[in-house]
Amino acid sequence: MMGGGFGGHSASRGQIDEEVFGAVYDQKVILRLFPFIMPYKKMVIVSVVAMLIYTLTQVAVPWIIALAIDDFIMKEGGDFQGLTWIVGLFIVVAFVNWATNYIQQYSMEKVGQGVLYKLRGALFGHVQKQSLSYFDKTEVGRLMSRVQGDVGQLQEFSALVVMTLGELLSLVGIVVALLILNMKLGLITMVVIPMLVAIMVVWQRYARKAFIEVRRCISIVNGAFNENISGVRVVLGMNRQRRNLEIFDGKNKDHRWSNIIAGRYSAGLMPGVDILTSLSICLALFYGARMVGAETLEIGVLVAFVMYIQRFFDPIRNLTMQYTQLQRSMASGARIFDLMDRIPDMVDEEGAIDMPVVKGDVEFQDVKFSYVDDEQVLNGIGLKINAGETIAVVGPTGAGKTSIVSLLSRLYEIKDGSGAILVDGYDVRKVNRKSLVSQMSMVLQDPYLFSGT
């Protein structure tokens, strides 16, 4: 029906990306995730059961070794026949440990990919429903960050929950095993826990800021990259390659340094935990050796203590990292569902009718329109085009040519009290948009080819 193009206005950009960490538990996000996880509930149950068995085997290994040393190796004359059964039991436990770990990781990966597939499809479909005014005000980089970064982060949520539960159960199991083996020595070896908690609290305060900065910087880099690719014609036409590269290089350097700083904090945690692990082992060996000498503690139990202590700090270290990841997942989920809850600016009215076969009479009645408040693009436009007429709208850049065609096609909506556009006497706001635009043809001033077409 008419020819036109987009790009007849400029929009204000540069919205601040909400790169913040959420709460570890956000009930609204959890409830919104359930419809995406429920189709895979059987796989989740399998993963949880596998995780419980895996945790049990992890806790059982040092106990089996203590049993082998004290009841068979240290026994007078050595009970090698009984030791053979212990070796067989150890092999079975090791195999079960491997099998359940594989089942847990595979099933949660399958669940995560399924959630990712459904969530990304739902998000893509919802973004497609948004009006042009939304895309005028929203940077492409921010949308890409939602569809790729945030959805990818949220994909890990189900696996993180299962892993966190496993680490907590492992921690509880190790503490119980230590206290059952020897209450006194168990309490002595755990005196380093308050120091560990203090280190974790201080570390997380600084590490959290560093991780937030990494997310913020990568969002800026993505936005800049998308902006330059989308506007490559302008860049080449104005010969801005060198200047744009300098600007991008500055943003890229900020991203690099933010990752280096975050890496420092990540690297700094491990030595501290290793020092406390060594201190706890030293305490166990120092006091345990005395107990062995006093025949109040068996050698196998002391060996089991050392092994349990080595395993004790791993869950704590992992829980600290998972705590941060859960915060990021909750924040990503909040941002995703905030976007999915956004009602499109332009929807058909309730009771809108299908547009009959169009004859071609078009009338603008005192139409007022602006992309930005208080900056009128069209101010009281009135015109009538009869069916069969060929009309050319001419004028300088910014005169409103594109805006006229865009309003006629309902790419933008006229506000109440700002006039009306009639096609064959029907107000375009009162008819189903699909039935209207399916009878219109438009040739854009900037052609765009989709991949594979």
Mean pLDDT over 167-184 rounds to: 87
In which band, very low, low, confident or very high, does the pLDDT at 78 lie, cut at 50, 70 and 90?
A: low
User: How far apart, in whole angstroms, are the C-alpha atoms of residue 165 and residue 87?
Assistant: 30
214 token code pair: 């990494």
Closest by CA position to 312, among listed 175, 214, 147: 175
* Helix, coil or strand: residue 15: coil
> Do residues 381 and 13 touch, judged by C-beta distance below 8 A?
no
DSSP string, 242-309: HHHHHHHHHHHHHHHHHHHHHHHHHHHHHHHHHHHHHHHHHHHHHHHHHHHHTTSS-HHHHHHHHHHH
> Do residues 411 and 428 touch, judged by C-beta distance below 8 A?
no
Output the pLDDT for position 4: 40
Largest distance between two CA atoms of the chain: 111
Output the pLDDT for position 449: 67
Output the pLDDT for position 256: 92
- For 87-137, the pLDDT digits (tens) are 899 899 999 999 999 998 898 888 888 888 888 888 888 888 877 777 777
CA angle at 243 for the pair 242 and 248, rounded to the nearest 5°: 95
Q: What ranges make up the beta strands (E) of 79-160?
A: none
| Mean pLDDT rounded to a whole number for the chain | 80
Output the pLDDT for position 166: 82
Estimate the share of the chain in helix, then strand, then coil, as percent rounded to the nearest 5: 70, 5, 25
Residue 167 has pLDDT above 60, yes or no: yes
User: How far apart, in whole angstroms, are the C-alpha atoms of residue 284 and residue 190?
Assistant: 10
287 token code pair: 């006091």
User: How far apart, in whole angstroms, are the C-alpha atoms of residue 352 and residue 429?
Assistant: 8
> Do residues 123 and 342 touch, judged by C-beta distance below 8 A?
no
Which parts of 294-415 fold into alpha helices (H)?
299-340, 401-408
Output the pLDDT for position 16: 42
Please indicate whether residue 200 or residue 298 has the higher confidence score (pLDDT): 298
Output the pLDDT for position 26: 66
Q: What is the enclosing helix (H) or strand (E) of 426?
A: strand 426-427
31-45, 147-161, 330-344, range with greatest mean pLDDT: 31-45
Output the pLDDT for position 23: 54
Output the pLDDT for position 93: 92
Angle, helices 193-230 vs 241-293, to 10°: value is: 160
Q: From the CB of residue 347, how many other CB atoms can be counted at a distance below 10 Å?
A: 12
Mean pLDDT over 423-430 rounds to: 86
- For 264-273, the pLDDT digits (tens) are 887 877 788 8
Closest by CA position to 215, among listed 21, 29, 14, 24: 21
Closest by CA position to 203, among listed 267, 290, 249: 267
Output the pLDDT for position 25: 58
- Chain position carrying tokens 């995560």: 112
Residue 81 has pLDDT above 80, yes or no: no
> Do residues 300 and 66 touch, judged by C-beta distance below 8 A?
yes
Mean pLDDT over 186-202 rounds to: 84
User: How far apart, in whole angstroms, are the C-alpha atoms of residue 211 and residue 205?
Assistant: 10
Q: From the CB of residue 354, how many other CB atoms can be counted at a distance below 10 Å?
A: 10
Residue 402 has pLDDT above 90, yes or no: no
User: How far apart, in whole angstroms, are the C-alpha atoms of residue 83 and residue 321?
Assistant: 40
User: How far apart, in whole angstroms, are the C-alpha atoms of residue 304 and residue 176?
Assistant: 13
Buried-state track 394-429, b at ≥16 Cβ within 10 A, e below 16: eeeeeebbbbbbbbbbbbbbbeeebbebebeebebb
Mean pLDDT over 285-309 rounds to: 88
User: How far apart, in whole angstroms, are the C-alpha atoms of residue 452 and residue 448?
Assistant: 12
Mean pLDDT over 373-392 rounds to: 84
> Do residues 412 and 369 touch, judged by C-beta distance below 8 A?
yes
As to burial, measured by CB atoms within 10 angstroms (0-12 exposed, 13-18 middle, 19+ buried), residue 332 is: buried
Residue 411 has pLDDT above 50, yes or no: yes
306 token code pair: 């050392």
Which residues have a Cβ under 8 Å from the Cβ of 275 and sit 6 or more positions away? none
* Helix, coil or strand: residue 355: coil
In which band, very low, low, confident or very high, does the pLDDT at 451 lie, cut at 50, 70 and 90?
A: low
Mean pLDDT over 391-402 rounds to: 82
Q: What percent of the chain has pLDDT over 90?
A: 5
Q: What percent of the chain has pLDDT over 70?
A: 89
Output the pLDDT for position 11: 34
Domains and their CATH numbers in the chain = 27-340 (1.20.1560.10), 362-437 (3.40.50.300)
Closest by CA position to 199, among listed 107, 265, 247, 264: 265
User: How far apart, in whole angstroms, are the C-alpha atoms of residue 118 and residue 165?
Assistant: 25
* Complete edge-to-edge strand list for the sheet that includes strand 375-385: 375-385, 362-372, 420-423, 426-427
Mean pLDDT over 365-376 rounds to: 81
> Do residues 407 and 423 touch, judged by C-beta distance below 8 A?
no
